[in-house]
Structure 1
Amino acid sequence: MGRFRRGDLIHRLLQVLPDLAVPDRPAAALRLLARERDLTDDQRAEMTAAALGVLNDPRFAEVFGPGSRAEVALAGTAAKLPAGLAISGRIDRLVVLPDRVLVADFKTNRPSPDRIEDADPAYLRQMAIYAAVLAEVFPGRAIEAALVWTDGPKLMAIPELLIDQTLAELGRAG
């Protein structure tokens, strides 16, 4: 099984399982993965453990907690983006709170870096663009962006300075 397929399946688990009661999640994960006939029991167990490792980690509680939503469509542009740049995409996980907005993207297809600065620049661009558009959709609220790595698991917040630097680089490239 390739890493991309593994990533897709874990992504699906992270999309579906948060809406279930905590005690029901392990059995639901195994039921969902049982539909994938070519997987071994060990592969199913490993993917279930990876997803539950993220969901059971207190560092991720807000991202998967009450009021969080999976697969949120986002389209538009923003003043901080280069002229003519518009996006249409899906946010893996979005939490809208009274004072701030949390946006998270799951990364399952690569080993995670040790530092957010070493993440794939494409991931940083994606999250910076999401943050810029969300800042206009939710004016006056802080936008907090993070990558959720299932290998670890690890939650890596993307500092506002790094988002601003990434947006500035987009402006120079465009």
Structure 2
Amino acid sequence: VLDTEAEPGFAVMRGLALHKLLQMLPGIAEAERREAAERYLKRAGSQWPESERDKALASVAAILADSRFEQLFASSSRAEVAVMGSLEIKGKLRSISGKIDRLAVTSGKVSIVDYKTNRPAPAALADVPPAYVLQLALYRALLQPLYPRHEVSAALLFTEAPRLIELPPAAMDDALARLTGA
């Protein structure tokens, strides 16, 4: 961050491009999405090999076409939702803020999804880095008071597979308990 000479690596640039596409494409008519994605990738990935642009496009297209993810990208869902609040961590009130990649609120349920571009994508929850679980546990803890009559669920969407790994409430509760000392 402090080294203005260094440029972000390919993995970072690819991850940013996939996030942007998943943020913007659901708001574009389905018939126009592919062309819009190709235009964006030509600009954002102008230095990438064409095969990498094709892979990125295929990943995003597969996610948006997958009926398992339909509710996440419905017109009622939102992208890039800022969340902030305070949580008691080891006896001290701490400010927490972040950005939820995708938030879907339905009758009785709030779904939080964070995109990850890991290569290869983890196969199961046991392979997910603990920091990812903690990140979503914190988001969930901030949202629960805002939606007291809703179940707040969280999942990681690994764009490479694509694979959605839902985080069990117990796993998030454990991650939060380790952080807060509760």
TM-score normalised per structure 2: 0.88
Task: Please list every run of at least 4 consecutive aligned residues from structure 1 whose deviation after the TM superposition is greater than 4 angstroms.
Answer: none
| Native 8 Å contact 1:74 1:89 kept in 2 | yes
Of 43, 46, 49, the residue aligned with 1:35 is: 43
* Matched residue, 1:62: 71
Q: Which ranges in structure 1 are unaligned for 5 or more consecutive residues?
A: none
- Partner SS state of residue 93, structure 2: coil
* Matched residue, 1:50: 59
| Native 8 Å contact 1:148 1:155 kept in 2 | yes
* Matched residue, 2:31: 23
* Matched residue, 1:152: 161
Worse overlay, 118-127 or 30-39 = 30-39
**Matched-pair identity in %:** 38
Name the amino acid aligned to 1:130. Y
The 2-side partners of 1:132 and 1:150 are apart by 25
Of 15, 24, 27, the residue aligned with 1:7 is: 15
- Kindly indicate whether structure 1 or structure 2 has the higher relative contact order, using CA contacts under 8 Å at least 6 residues apart: 1
- Partner SS state of residue 85, structure 1: strand
* Matched residue, 1:77: 86
The 1-side partners of 2:110 and 2:87 are apart by 16
C-alpha distance after superposition, 1:71-105 (max 9, x if no partner): 011010246x5532321111100011231101000
The 2-side partners of 1:117 and 1:108 are apart by 17
Cα RMSD of the aligned pairs, angstroms, is 1.7
Count of aligned pairs: 172
Q: Which ranges in structure 2 are unaligned for 5 or more consecutive residues?
A: 1-8
**C-alpha deviation, 1:45, in angstroms:** 1.3
- Partner SS state of residue 77, structure 1: strand
TM-score normalised per structure 1: 0.91
Name the amino acid aligned to 1:57. D
| Native 8 Å contact 1:6 1:109 kept in 2 | no
